[in-house]
Chains A and B, each alone.
Chain A
């Protein structure tokens, strides 16, 4: 049996709908036979009538309604069709959902699913990675699963958590990433995973970039370098302890994130390591992000806009030579 990242998300939602009557799915084109733009809810409307609901094309209204439902005791999962469109609902997510518990002592257990990242030809408004925006604001949890297993367990955990969760699922991984089976349990949110052990350099990453980093590590192993790859799993909370322990082992740090450079998760990791682990660094820490321009449409431009294994390998080699 082989299950894709997308299927794991669908299975997790099926399990949630089955086990908890407070759960419902709310998004554009998620219901009926259509089952969502990426088929993440295919078949669920039929299996769980009245629990998978189509919304108008208004992200603001979608999240606002979900917040109201959550305050009344429900556990809504809001599917944004593309992460990029969630900016229309920024006020609802950051200010209403994010501050509600802090202001009123009443939790808002919503989960907002963001199909993130680019694919060839997806262009500036269908490719964004917005985890850094949401991580910046207090009151939100931001998940960035990189594996089929984490896609499954972390979505289930997202709904169980009483705080608003922004769940960033990567579009490129939907159909490309496969696993043999689904796990029954996983690491808790807030704990990073050592995807590959090493001793010469630490690459910290999350979501699709973890796989680019692993490819680079595999390649550089042939040149005699052992690269340690850390999968953050959640960008907020960020597992500083695991990152520091890894830098303690290797002395060199490269952070890779698919978001824009300014204030990205990579920058946050480096700021923490520089402040708390300065004495662990044998060379200046480095980061790779997407270019500081809107995301291009043309496939050739797009493939150089986002970080890729070639760029990561080049930077890793330079850092190893320092």
Chain B
């Protein structure tokens, strides 16, 4: 098995084009192998006759394994004979060449998924000593801790160890490559957001969406001073909808459903190099006017970088108005300690079918999406919540 690529450790036989007895030319493709990158050909080292094929179709063999033998002329055989180093004692004759070792196909051990299989030693369940791609040796872990890396950072590394696991050498090579690229220290905010998003993503998240008629909100806005943005209307609507069905904001922790007493909703505020999400406590009990004043305060604090972690903790949901960036729809990620995130896109004038007038009428429409932790709430519950939010937004005098 030739070296097929920098990080290739093994390949699977997909086609054997010859059988013992066949005459072959020099550099003739006789076996096809597949790696996780591509299908490649293995060619003969010289002219001759196939003496033996040592491998089987669909099995995987490591680089360096003997795939077969070609009976060649003496001159050709001499070309390939390796000079063994003189032994210091009478022992080197004992060592077989790597090629002579019978290499068993590399197969992954089957792991039982049934709880209680294998020895259940009256305490912790006992895992099969499987070493797969996710195995991290003590050395790799220690080095990662030293470099403050997480498993998410390993995603960019191609492992060359057993089962494609990342060895310490793979990790060090990767870090070396990074040294050679331009890099600067991540800001504390960047690192913080990265960690929060990594933790958020450990849950099964889903998003549903619909369109909302923004004209009622735009109309309502005209008579207000100061004027709340559509995001604040959405926040108020969400808070009221949650107050009506508080179960929608409950969190699943282990096998317990934990409900919050207060509908604290966060609103995304853009800071210099990241998003801050301060939480407005009891948003269902805060009038739209007060919400507007509160929001202005938070924007100022955000600019001064004075939004503390305390101010961002303890919410049940957040509203993100990416419509202000011109985006129409999105699938934002609920914060790690929350289960819901309402996303509001930019309003657009679109034709809408009016059933009464039996014609298309212009209307300002925006896409509104709700991302949720699918462990605590499913599509039906999320859908009903979003529908209620839309209802309230289309009748803003109720907000």
A residues with a Cβ closer than 8 A to B are: 176-177, 211-212, 214-216, 218-219, 222-223, 251, 278-283, 308-310, 313-314, 317, 321-322
Contact = CB atoms under 8 A, between A and B. Distances in A.
A219 B84 CA distance: 8
B162 interface: yes
Given A211-B88, A223-B64, A279-B142, 11 more contacts: A211-B91, A212-B89, A215-B87, A216-B95, A218-B87, A219-B85, A281-B139, A282-B140, A310-B96, A322-B162, A322-B167
Given A222-B82, A223-B98, A314-B101, A282 B139 contact: yes
Nearest to A223: B98
A261 to B, nearest CB: 20
Most buried by A among B84, B85, B138: B138
Interface string B147-166: 00000000000000110000
B131 interface: yes
B94 interface: yes
Contact of B91 (A308, A314, A322): A308
A25 B156 CA distance: 67
Contacts of B91: 211-212, 215, 308-309
B90 interface: yes
B92 A317 contact: no
12 contacts: A214-B88, A215-B87, A215-B92, A219-B95, A279-B139, A282-B139, A282-B140, A310-B95, A310-B96, A314-B101, A321-B161, A322-B162
Given A251-B139, A251-B168, A313 B89 contact: no
Contact of A309 (B62, B94, B131, B137): B94
B94 A281 contact: no
B340 to A, nearest CB: 41
A322 B161 contact: yes
Nearest to B145: A279
Contacts of A222: 82, 85
Please give me the 7 A-B residue pairs with the lowest Cβ-Cβ distance, nearest first.
A279-B142, A282-B168, A282-B139, A282-B137, A310-B94, A309-B94, A309-B95
Nearest to A322: B162
B62 A321 contact: yes
A279 B92 CA distance: 34
A218 B90 CA distance: 14
Contacts of B139: 251, 279-282
Nearest to A321: B162
Given A211-B89, A279-B139, A317-B101, A322 B131 contact: yes
Nearest to B136: A282
A219 B91 CA distance: 11
A219 to B, nearest CB: 5
Chain B interface, DSSP helix/strand/loop, else mixed: loop
Contacts of A282: 137-140, 167-169
B371 to A, nearest CB: 39
B138 A279 contact: yes
Contacts of A283: 137, 161
A281 B142 CA distance: 10
A279 B168 CA distance: 11
Interface residues of B, number: 29
Contacts of A216: 95
A206 to B, nearest CB: 15
B361 to A, nearest CB: 69
A279 to B, nearest CB: 4
A281 B140 CA distance: 8
A214 B88 CA distance: 8
Interface in B90-148: 90-92, 94-96, 98, 101, 131, 137-142
Interface in B336-363: none
Contact of B96 (A212, A215, A313): A313
A176 B89 CA distance: 7
A317 B87 CA distance: 19
B162 A308 contact: no
A308 B142 CA distance: 34
B131 A219 contact: no
Nearest to B168: A282
Contacts of B96: 310, 313
Nearest to A313: B95
A303 to B, nearest CB: 8
A158 B60 CA distance: 54
A219 B92 contact: yes
A219 B100 CA distance: 13
Most buried by B among A278, A282, A317, A321: A282
Nearest to B172: A251
A222 B64 CA distance: 12
A216 B89 CA distance: 12
Contacts of A219: 84-85, 92, 95
A308 B94 CA distance: 8
Contact of A281 (B82, B87, B137, B162): B137
B16 to A, nearest CB: 24
A215 B64 contact: no
A219 B64 CA distance: 15
Contacts of B87: 215, 218
Contacts of B167: 251, 282, 322
B98 A317 contact: yes
A313 B96 CA distance: 8
A212 B92 CA distance: 8
Contacts of B84: 219
Contacts of A215: 87-89, 91-92, 95
B98 to A, nearest CB: 5
Contacts of B92: 215, 218-219, 309
Contacts of A176: 89-90
Nearest to B146: A279
B62 A218 contact: no
Contacts of A314: 101
Interface in B1-54: 9
Contacts of A309: 91-92, 94-95
A272 to B, nearest CB: 15
Contacts of A278: 138
A215 B139 CA distance: 28
B159 to A, nearest CB: 11
Nearest to B129: A284
Contacts of A214: 88
Interface in B226-267: none
Contacts of A251: 137, 139, 167-169
Nearest to B139: A282
Nearest to B106: A321
